[in-house]
Chains A and B, each alone.
Chain A
């Protein structure tokens, strides 16, 4: 009261800070509103006093009412900047929690947001919601052309309270029961009007196809996500230590997220680790790279060029004579030759054996053609390597290939190959040209990614003659395994590396082919056998194992060529092709990861004198192994 002394504030006013500090007396708030003259009693009170007609709330008269409460002031209910008509909002509470809806307008009286699903997309009707219960997304729909019915206001959405009448004494107060909410026809009509307009607006949006699914889906928080960080890009950091870049690639081998540069670096480091830990090369060696133009051999050549191993590298390519496949891939090899500045030698089946694959397939049909291709390619690579004076041959076999081969050898019962197929370098114990696989632990997916990241050009198509190879089953299994547990590919390789053959298991003895002197456990090597069959029209020679009459009659075995118990099938099963889609066909056929033997190899190897000579001219005259049609061929050393 003016003139009155200020009330004494107690020393402990902190305890009740608002009570005394902000009392109307202390603040001496001015009177507001209309006043009236009121008569007061008492002879000494002056008879009348001016009083405010509407005093307002007794406590805190100046505190503004929340705009969210009905009767609040729209002018003071500010919308967040991110909420504009057409914005897609995520509802955080209530019956429609998690749904994505479209904001239409702010209701005048309450300041609440009017939203709709549309109903057809996510079953959310027209309703009001406070902005505190929504997250505004960046997605906006152009609703400028949408005309909302004028009756959509706060009164429209106000809950209608049923009038309760006083119950008479003795009457059951629960007799009326619970009144269910019923959607009025007006509401249905308005919903339809609004949704039709909204859907029309959505259809005009170029992302309509995705918006339908987006609006129909629910929002949720995943592990590692935080609401306050939503809408802010959260890049995943590269997992390489000391690298601050964002990760763009996930390594297939270990699942680590890495940036592009670290991916390339780590891939090359892995290959280098494989080479150095196994002492794969010696400086000064002349090494042939089996190049098909596919991704594996391309990446192999590129990676080996990148690191100085002190090697003389030569590209060696084999032309099987498959039109529409190999002739195109050889163009890729030619490009590799120019880009990597490596010498290139191409050998063809036609020159070496007198038969191209097209001619062979025309003769034998589309069955067992991979048998021929694989056997011939293996020999062709060795011949070419010896011809070039190379001491080692490297191929682009990757972890997926080796895992498939382990599985195949297990399934076909070829334990001899199983033992050696995981060796990083085969043939080092003498008698054959050593073959190395530097990409042994590199995943196929990583190889593809490496090629793409480094913009390496390679040939990518499936061999036209290899649709139904047995290896496809193994490949399919490996792919499914990789999806479930990527590490399993390396685990299969580890399993293969850890096995050995029991001593009591009889193994074939390695010798030399009586015609071409190539390594063989039989009198004639597989290549000579196959060519003999081609030349004498005995197409089953070398491709099918003969079933004994007794066993076939007894068991009625009709498993032609497949492993069968009744025949005591043991020998290396007919070679398999596997020029599957995706990559180079170098030596992929016929379990070409191992030794050079035409059939099974052995631990008991005789020392072989095996000289590389120029065999090409001889081959042209004598067809491959030097066998002519009457079978009495001269030996050819190659």
Chain B
């Protein structure tokens, strides 16, 4: 399959690359906007990745270079890892000067599936350990996020962190009364794991593998969960919460661009891990929101993602500057929430109400 076959919509337009005179054969979500030749396309996507961090000066002005990449096996994570590896190999002055650590995350509790995923992670880890790259990594189950202080022994003998917490993790998820609540808990566990691991490792910045399309779907689902006030920060490129900086370098990159770049650069074969993430459960807000955005884009409203992200960037919490924070997700607690005895933000309070074992919820997720 040639590059021209990767994006038939763009190739069919028969236009020239917007940056050079070569035939335009690749494009983003909307081929009518701009088409690129292969090298320009690769450069465009990589530039978007780096400029998302560069223009916010995340690594400038003496800021720490240590970064934790949360790798979940998705195409976005593969692209991010590919960029990290590439940056380690670069020798020119434009080298991305960061000191990365990779955290491979495991979501499933099915032993057979976990075994396959761990094997794949081991293969990827072996590549990261090659001379000239030398990126350290650890593997952790989402259940490890339940540990308030993650202990990072050099060699504990365990294949991955969080094995002992899986039972509580499963029990907590089973206690949630709806699939939406379970999905939301899983997402929270992912954030808690990343934050607590980073704090334990002394790392200040975390790369989250979320593309622009993922974030636009998050906007809709966050609004549907009552998180409107916090949405802006939860989908922004840089966000300070839970004692760390969450970075989303693929904020301006769509799923199509990620897929194409992974194919062109070989990241899909090297780093993508099939079946590593649980599919969105049916009858959950997250799936309904994702299908809604996909449907709008199919109907021709191709600017949906960019418009959602742009409009969300313009809004803030209307209750003013926060002085206290939710003890689970770290989002600012509003005036009403402050009156709550458990000091949770509204969405987390709703989540707690949907747990049939609230004592377990409080013990497991308390600060």
Taking beta carbons and an 8 Å cutoff, which residues of A are in contact with B? Answer: 406-407, 409-415, 418-419, 473, 477, 480-481, 484-485, 487-488, 491-492, 494-502, 505, 555-559, 562-566, 569
Residue of B nearest to A478 (CB): B224
The interface residues of chain A lying within 8 Å CB-to-CB of B300 are: 562
Once the chains bind, are B283 and A488 in contact (CB under 8 Å)?
no
How long is the Cα–Cα vector from A409 to B314 in the complex, in angstroms? Answer: 13
The interface residues of chain A lying within 8 Å CB-to-CB of B231 are: 495, 499
**A415-B180 CB under 8 A given contacts A410-B219, A496-B228, A500-B317:** no
How long is the Cα–Cα vector from A406 to B225 in the complex, in angstroms? Answer: 13
Q: How far is the CB of B332 from chain A (nearest CB, A)?
A: 11
The interface residues of chain A lying within 8 Å CB-to-CB of B296 are: 411, 473
Once the chains bind, are A488 and B319 in contact (CB under 8 Å)?
no
Once the chains bind, are B315 and A501 in contact (CB under 8 Å)?
yes
- Please tell me which one of the listed residues B225, B302, B307, B317 contacts residue A488 in the complex, with CB atoms under 8 A apart: B225
How long is the Cα–Cα vector from A537 to B284 in the complex, in angstroms? Answer: 49
Once the chains bind, are A502 and B318 in contact (CB under 8 Å)?
no
How long is the Cα–Cα vector from A474 to B305 in the complex, in angstroms? Answer: 15
In the assembled complex, B303 has its CB within 8 A of some CB on chain A: yes
How long is the Cα–Cα vector from A569 to B307 in the complex, in angstroms? Answer: 9
Once the chains bind, are A410 and B308 in contact (CB under 8 Å)?
yes
Once the chains bind, are B311 and A500 in contact (CB under 8 Å)?
no
B270-290 interface with A by 8 A CB criterion: 283-285, 288-289
Q: How far is the CB of B112 from chain A (nearest CB, A)?
A: 30
How long is the Cα–Cα vector from A558 to B306 in the complex, in angstroms? Answer: 17
The interface residues of chain B lying within 8 Å CB-to-CB of A555 are: 32-34
Once the chains bind, are A484 and B32 in contact (CB under 8 Å)?
no
Once the chains bind, are B317 and A484 in contact (CB under 8 Å)?
no
How long is the Cα–Cα vector from A564 to B29 in the complex, in angstroms? Answer: 12
Once the chains bind, are A410 and B312 in contact (CB under 8 Å)?
yes
In the complex, 23 of the A-B residue pairs with CB atoms within 8 angstroms, ordered by the A residue number, are: A410-B220, A410-B308, A411-B296, A411-B308, A419-B315, A480-B292, A484-B285, A484-B288, A488-B225, A491-B224, A491-B225, A492-B223, A494-B346, A495-B222, A495-B223, A496-B223, A497-B228, A498-B317, A498-B319, A499-B317, A555-B34, A565-B306, A569-B303
- Please tell me which one of the listed residues A407, A485, A564, A569 contacts residue B178 in the complex, with CB atoms under 8 A apart: A485
In the assembled complex, B226 has its CB within 8 A of some CB on chain A: yes
In the assembled complex, B238 has its CB within 8 A of some CB on chain A: no
Residue of A nearest to B227 (CB): A495
Once the chains bind, are A485 and B346 in contact (CB under 8 Å)?
no
**A557-B284 CB under 8 A given contacts A484-B180, A500-B316:** no
Known: A480-B292, A556-B15, A557-B32. 16 other contacts (CB 8 A): A410-B223, A411-B307, A411-B308, A412-B307, A415-B315, A418-B315, A487-B350, A488-B285, A491-B223, A495-B228, A499-B228, A505-B314, A559-B32, A562-B300, A564-B303, A569-B307
How long is the Cα–Cα vector from A501 to B311 in the complex, in angstroms? Answer: 10
Once the chains bind, are B307 and A500 in contact (CB under 8 Å)?
no
Query: Interface 1/0s, chain B 309-349, versus A by CB < 8 A?
Result: 01110111111000000000000001000000000001000
- Please tell me which one of the listed residues A414, A487, A499, A569 contacts residue B229 in the complex, with CB atoms under 8 A apart: A499
Residue of A nearest to B319 (CB): A498
Q: How far is the CB of B36 from chain A (nearest CB, A)?
A: 13
Q: How far is the CB of A199 from chain B (nearest CB, A)?
A: 38
Once the chains bind, are A410 and B311 in contact (CB under 8 Å)?
yes
State the 4 A-B residue pairs at the shortest beta-carbon distance, nearest first. A495-B228, A500-B318, A491-B226, A498-B229
The interface residues of chain A lying within 8 Å CB-to-CB of B334 are: 498
How long is the Cα–Cα vector from A500 to B225 in the complex, in angstroms? Answer: 18
Once the chains bind, are A500 and B315 in contact (CB under 8 Å)?
yes
The interface residues of chain B lying within 8 Å CB-to-CB of A415 are: 311, 314-315
Query: Interface 1/0s, chain B 180-192, versus A by CB < 8 A?
Result: 1000000000000
How long is the Cα–Cα vector from A121 to B224 in the complex, in angstroms? Answer: 45
B140-184 interface with A by 8 A CB criterion: 178, 180
Q: How far is the CB of B322 from chain A (nearest CB, A)?
A: 12
The interface residues of chain A lying within 8 Å CB-to-CB of B319 are: 498
Chain B interface residue count, Cβ-Cβ cutoff 8 angstroms? 46
In the assembled complex, B295 has its CB within 8 A of some CB on chain A: yes
Once the chains bind, are A498 and B228 in contact (CB under 8 Å)?
yes
Q: How far is the CB of B219 from chain A (nearest CB, A)?
A: 7
How long is the Cα–Cα vector from A419 to B316 in the complex, in angstroms? Answer: 10
Once the chains bind, are B303 and A495 in contact (CB under 8 Å)?
no
Q: How far is the CB of B295 from chain A (nearest CB, A)?
A: 7
The interface residues of chain B lying within 8 Å CB-to-CB of A410 are: 219-220, 223, 308, 311-312
B12-32 interface with A by 8 A CB criterion: 15, 32
Q: How far is the CB of B6 from chain A (nearest CB, A)?
A: 21
The interface residues of chain A lying within 8 Å CB-to-CB of B285 are: 481, 484-485, 488
Once the chains bind, are B318 and A558 in contact (CB under 8 Å)?
no
Query: Interface 1/0s, chain B 105-149, versus A by CB < 8 A?
Result: 000000000000000000000000000000000000000000000
The interface residues of chain B lying within 8 Å CB-to-CB of A501 are: 314-316
Residue of B nearest to A564 (CB): B303
- Please tell me which one of the listed residues B284, B301, B306, B315 contacts residue A499 in the complex, with CB atoms under 8 A apart: B315
How long is the Cα–Cα vector from A473 to B310 in the complex, in angstroms? Answer: 20
Once the chains bind, are B307 and A563 in contact (CB under 8 Å)?
yes
**A502-B316 CB under 8 A given contacts A556-B15, A566-B33:** yes
How long is the Cα–Cα vector from A569 to B33 in the complex, in angstroms? Answer: 14
The interface residues of chain B lying within 8 Å CB-to-CB of A498 are: 228-229, 317-319, 334
How long is the Cα–Cα vector from A496 to B316 in the complex, in angstroms? Answer: 11
How long is the Cα–Cα vector from A419 to B228 in the complex, in angstroms? Answer: 11
The interface residues of chain B lying within 8 Å CB-to-CB of A497 are: 228, 318
**A480-B311 CB under 8 A given contacts A488-B225, A498-B318, A558-B32:** no
The interface residues of chain B lying within 8 Å CB-to-CB of A563 are: 301, 303, 307
In the assembled complex, B304 has its CB within 8 A of some CB on chain A: yes
Once the chains bind, are B33 and A557 in contact (CB under 8 Å)?
yes
B222-245 interface with A by 8 A CB criterion: 222-229, 231
Q: How far is the CB of B116 from chain A (nearest CB, A)?
A: 31
Q: How far is the CB of A10 from chain B (nearest CB, A)?
A: 58
How long is the Cα–Cα vector from A541 to B136 in the complex, in angstroms? Answer: 61
**A494-B316 CB under 8 A given contacts A484-B288, A558-B32:** no
- Please tell me which one of the listed residues B32, B228, B311, B317 contacts residue A413 in the complex, with CB atoms under 8 A apart: B311
How long is the Cα–Cα vector from A410 to B309 in the complex, in angstroms? Answer: 9
How long is the Cα–Cα vector from A556 to B316 in the complex, in angstroms? Answer: 35
Residue of B nearest to A487 (CB): B350
Q: How far is the CB of A547 from chain B (nearest CB, A)?
A: 13
How long is the Cα–Cα vector from A72 to B33 in the complex, in angstroms? Answer: 89
**A473-B295 CB under 8 A given contacts A410-B308, A498-B317, A556-B15:** yes
Once the chains bind, are B219 and A499 in contact (CB under 8 Å)?
no
B179-222 interface with A by 8 A CB criterion: 180, 219-220, 222
The interface residues of chain A lying within 8 Å CB-to-CB of B180 are: 484-485
Once the chains bind, are B310 and A413 in contact (CB under 8 Å)?
yes
The interface residues of chain A lying within 8 Å CB-to-CB of B283 are: 484
The interface residues of chain B lying within 8 Å CB-to-CB of A407 are: 220, 223
The interface residues of chain B lying within 8 Å CB-to-CB of A565 are: 33, 303, 306
Among A407, A413, A505, A569, chain B packs the most CB atoms within 10 A around the CB of A413
**A406-B223 CB under 8 A given contacts A495-B229, A500-B316:** yes
How long is the Cα–Cα vector from A87 to B212 in the complex, in angstroms? Answer: 63
The interface residues of chain A lying within 8 Å CB-to-CB of B316 are: 499-502
Q: How far is the CB of B182 from chain A (nearest CB, A)?
A: 12
Among A488, A499, A500, A564, chain B packs the most CB atoms within 10 A around the CB of A499
Q: How far is the CB of A471 from chain B (nearest CB, A)?
A: 13
Q: How far is the CB of A410 from chain B (nearest CB, A)?
A: 6
Q: How far is the CB of A545 from chain B (nearest CB, A)?
A: 13
B90-105 interface with A by 8 A CB criterion: none
The interface residues of chain A lying within 8 Å CB-to-CB of B312 are: 410
Q: How far is the CB of A565 from chain B (nearest CB, A)?
A: 5
How long is the Cα–Cα vector from A498 to B180 in the complex, in angstroms? Answer: 22
**A562-B223 CB under 8 A given contacts A484-B288, A488-B285, A496-B228:** no
Q: How far is the CB of B109 from chain A (nearest CB, A)?
A: 24
Q: How far is the CB of A136 from chain B (nearest CB, A)?
A: 36
How long is the Cα–Cα vector from A369 to B214 in the complex, in angstroms? Answer: 34
How long is the Cα–Cα vector from A564 to B304 in the complex, in angstroms? Answer: 9
